[in-house]
Amino acid sequence: MHTPLCGHASGHPVEYVSKGSALGLDLMTFTCHIPMSDPDFGGPRIRMAHHQLEDYFRMVEQARVAGEEHGIEILCGIEAEVSADSGALDEMIELLNAHEFDFVLGSLHHQLKVYRDRLKRLGINEDDQIIRDYFNTLTQAAASGLYHSMSHPDVIRIYGTIDSASFCPEAYEGEIRAFLQSCVRSDTCMEVNTSGLSKGVYTLHPDPIILKWAREEGVKLTLGSDAHAPESVGQHFEKVLTCLQEEGFTTLHYYRSGQQQTTALTRFN
Ligand SMILES: [Zn+2]
Ligand SMILES: [Zn+2]
């Protein structure tokens, strides 16, 4: 879940907690976009500035206090960036080391200038090559151990870097399974991001076939709504939890103080 500090979300975190309370949630983790100095990772409409980090901690603390009243545990995470370019993340890694986030998501936002420039520089211009590069980059990122969970893992299918219609997971099973195996080896979770059902091609992130492979490979899951507004908290959870149970998953994971926690996967409400 996000905060207005990223410039493209709305509502105070306390309002997110109220929505979570109405839904009967018992734990929520805020994961706003991490500050990055390099403007190629996006400016004030994408992420908070470094000097706003204290505001972020203050907002999440207010949410935590509100959560106590509602019986909801509130955790403070961050949505960090993935990059294959050496050195591009040095400053971000320093920031992650300097703060005790409960939970760190790893996201490859392929629509950002930094990643599109990489593709140009390497002469990667066919959709097929881009998709392979995207999953190879995620595979390396999962192996780094820097992130607790890899977010919206097939988001490459939306936001225009490739033609949406050209993403057929079956054609990239080798790359995707390599990514899933990398998650297992480093004990990094994969996020099931329910926002995909509300936008783009209206499919869960990741695609159900990738969830099936994740089950076969033994990947652990975290669950996120990626809410950018209070009304999106818990979006599609009921449908997705049913889908995960049908797929054979019995547990979900979350992180407190960077430590992996396991909870039984039960139906919503
Ligand atoms: Zn966002
Ligand atoms: Zn994201």
Boundaries of every domain in the chain: 4-264
Q: What is the mean pLDDT of residues 155-182?
A: 95
Mean pLDDT is lowest, of 28-32, 90-94, 159-163, for 159-163
Which ligand does the CA of 80 lie closest to? 2
- What is the topology classification, in CATH, of domain 4-264? TIM Barrel (3.20.20)
Distance 227 CA to ligand 1 centre (A): 8
What rounded mean pLDDT belongs to the chain? 96
Distance 216 CA to ligand 1 centre (A): 30
Distance 131 CA to ligand 1 centre (A): 22
Distance 20 CA to ligand 2 centre (A): 20
Distance 69 CA to ligand 1 centre (A): 27
Distance 213 CA to ligand 1 centre (A): 27
Q: Are strands 259-264 and 251-256 parallel, antiparallel or unpaired?
A: antiparallel
Distance 6 CA to ligand 1 centre (A): 7
Cα→Cα distances 221→118, 181, 250, 265, Å: 29, 13, 10, 10
Distance 12 CA to ligand 1 centre (A): 15
Distance 8 CA to ligand 1 centre (A): 6
Distance 32 CA to ligand 1 centre (A): 7
Which ligand does the CA of 7 lie closest to? 1
pLDDT attached to residue 217: 98
Cα→Cα distances 61→51, 65, 68, Å: 17, 6, 11
Q: Which residues contact 74 (CB under 8 A, 6 or more apart)?
A: 13, 17, 27, 28, 29, 30, 60, 63, 64, 66, 67
Distance 108 CA to ligand 2 centre (A): 7
DSSP, collapsed to helix, strand or coil, labels residue 158 as: coil
pLDDT attached to residue 117: 97
pLDDT attached to residue 203: 83
Check pLDDT > 90 for residue 8.
yes
Distance 152 CA to ligand 2 centre (A): 7
Check pLDDT > 80 for residue 267.
no
- Torsions phi, psi for 141 (to 5 deg): -65, -40
Which ligand does the CA of 111 lie closest to? 2
Q: What is the pLDDT of residues 192-227, one digit of tens each?
A: 999 989 887 778 899 999 999 999 999 999 999 999
Q: What is the pLDDT of residues 12-70, one digit of tens each?
A: 999 999 999 999 999 999 999 999 999 999 999 999 999 999 999 999 999 999 999 99
Q: Are strands 73-81 and 27-33 parallel, antiparallel or unpaired?
A: parallel
Residues 126/131/135/140 CA torsion (nearest 10 deg): 20
Q: Hey, what amino acid is at 161?
A: T
Check pLDDT > 90 for residue 138.
yes
Distance 33 CA to ligand 1 centre (A): 7
Q: What is the mean pLDDT of residues 134-153?
A: 98
b/e sequence 76-114, b meaning 16+ C-beta within 10 Å: bbbbbbbbbeeebbeebeebbeeeebbbbbbbbbbebeb
The more confident residue out of 269 and 6 is 6
pLDDT attached to residue 269: 54
Cα→Cα distances 117→5, 120, 121, 126, 239, Å: 26, 5, 6, 14, 37
pLDDT attached to residue 202: 79
